[in-house]
A and B are shown apart, each in its own frame.
Chain A
Amino acid sequence: MPVPRYWRYQDQRYNLAGSRCTVCGTVYFPQRPLCPKCHRKSLGKMERVTLSGEGRIISYTVVHDPLSDYEHLSPYIMALIETPEGATLLGQIVDAEPDEVEIGKEVEMVFRKLREEGKSGTIQYGYKFRLKG
């Protein structure tokens, strides 16, 4: 991802910034300008929320054949995580072997390197998850 685009998503990647529709209360991640349920009624009524970083695995997969930028991480675990705020998001599970990961397990957000643009480019950081406890 080019530097400017990555930088624009920094609040989302660093702090799990999402949106709450103040009309119906639904929380979205990533941020949205409009609520898909309330449509135009939510115009100007979406507020920024920071997700707690807590969550539960609802689905996961072990990636054995990643894209070239992520080859050194292989195999790695990607999970779909349901947050107590109601939003679901996709994130990597770190510090765990595939056989330790199970649907229903609790996770918490950690701050990790996401990607490096070679040895001279920028380093991109953001959220990943680890098993709780």
Chain B
Amino acid sequence: MDVGIVSYGVYIPKYRILPEEIGRVWGKDGAAMGKGLMVEMKSVPGLDEDTVTISVEAARRALKRRPIDPRDIKAIYVGSESHPYAVKPTATIVAEAIQAAPDLTAADLEFACKAGTAGIQALLGLVKAGYIKYGISIGADTSQGAPGNALEYTAAAGGAAYVIGAEGVIAKVNHTVSFTTDTPDFWRREGMKYPSHGERFTGTPAYFKHITGCAKMLMEKAGTTPKDYDYAVFHQPNGKFPVRVAKMLGFEMSQIEKGLWTPKIGNTYSGSMLVGLAAILDEAEPGDRILAVSFGSGAGSDGFDITVTEEMKRYNRSAAPTVKEITSVYKIIDYALYTKFREKIKMEGE
């Protein structure tokens, strides 16, 4: 039985802020900062947007492309590190908003930036075991960096939803593996607004170790080398890391550029790799093979070896906007409006 992606949808808020503007406020060379991180601009959610609204929009777009009966969706997982409630799931709201409730299971998942891919793995298992017909996994975030912190140049908002099933598979998951360790590279304690990171742990022992470890395990299991893939996509905390990790693994720029979106929208955390994968699926042809590896601090990577199927020809891709179309319409805002949008100012009485 072939299991895999049956449909997908992406949502990115319309607003953007430039690194120059963030640097201007903090007396730093923002343009140089953006250049170093390879981030031209980052997305900012509107005042009435959060992880719930982004998740619902992405899921609705996935269902526009593949109008299955929402009552056939028997599981919804939302992976995020910015669920609006500490207690009360995002996934139940999504279930109601796509009319999939009440006959389904739903849960919010948390594993830094890779909870959305952990959800996809769980759904692949449920579908393969015959427990459910379809499931949706969403990776979405409205991430924040503390004002003035380096993370502020990249922390963005957006998300992607993937419908997983065994009927109408447009992209078959041939293999999936994970690489998981206990690494203190990045965390946020309950009740704290902004995350912290262990300077010595970001980069080499975290991102690079887990992604290369996972990708190598995956290619060993699949019996493949980088040359066997038309596309590769990795988690994108900035524009620089995925380019470097691709090179370390032996992938060419031509294999990763279609899925590289952090330079245009910033780091959408749980959405990051999944938005990149969606951009590849927006243009992929039957037979194309894709290697996709996420990363979540704490730390772990989930890897997927994917082949696009003939079903892609019958699939109604144009029923929802592509990543290219979504990101071609935006509005640049200044730091004052950004501060209001991100609620970085305390109002009287708070």
- Point out residues on A near B: beta carbons under 8 Å: 10-11, 14-15, 50, 72-73, 94-95, 110-114, 119, 123, 125, 128
Closest to A17 in B: B99
Known A14-B96, A15-B99, A123-B52: A94·B46 in contact at CB below 8 Å: yes
Known A110-B57, A111-B53, A113-B53: A119·B350 in contact at CB below 8 Å: yes
A128 touches B52 (CB 8 A): no
A17 to B56 alpha-carbon distance, docked (Å): 17
A114 touches B48 (CB 8 A): yes
Q: Which residues of A contact B84 (CB under 8 A)?
A: 123
B93 touches A125 (CB 8 A): yes
Instruction: State the total of A-B contacts with C-beta under 8 angstroms.
Output: 48
Q: Which residues of A contact B47 (CB under 8 A)?
A: 72-73, 113
**For the complex, would chain A's binding face be called helix, strand, loop or mixed by DSSP majority?**
strand
- Listed A/B pairs (29) with beta-carbon separation below 8 Å: A10-B96, A15-B96, A15-B99, A50-B99, A73-B47, A73-B48, A94-B48, A95-B46, A95-B331, A110-B53, A110-B57, A111-B52, A111-B53, A111-B56, A111-B97, A112-B46, A112-B49, A112-B53, A113-B47, A113-B48, A113-B52, A114-B48, A123-B50, A123-B52, A123-B84, A123-B85, A125-B53, A125-B56, A125-B97
Q: Which residues of A contact B49 (CB under 8 A)?
A: 112-113
A58 to B52 alpha-carbon distance, docked (Å): 30
- Seed contacts A111-B60, A119-B350; 16 additional CB < 8 Å A-B pairs: A15-B96, A15-B99, A73-B48, A95-B46, A110-B53, A111-B53, A111-B56, A111-B97, A112-B46, A112-B53, A113-B48, A113-B50, A123-B50, A123-B85, A125-B52, A125-B97
A73 to B340 alpha-carbon distance, docked (Å): 10
Residues 48 to 99 of chain B near chain A (Cβ within 8 Å):
48-50, 52-53, 56-57, 60, 84-85, 93, 96-97, 99
Q: Is B342 an interface residue (CB 8 A)?
A: no
Type the 1/0 row for B33-55, where 1 means its CB is closer than 8 Å to any CB of A: 00000000000001111101100
Q: What 3 A-B pairs have minimum CB-CB distances, sorted nearest first? A: A111-B56, A112-B48, A113-B48
A112 to B49 alpha-carbon distance, docked (Å): 6
Q: Which residues of A contact B53 (CB under 8 A)?
A: 110-113, 125
Residues 1 to 27 of chain B near chain A (Cβ within 8 Å):
14
Interface centre among A50, A72, A73, A128 (most CB of B within 10 A): A72
Q: Which residues of B contact A72 (CB under 8 A)?
A: 47, 340, 347
Closest to B50 in A: A113
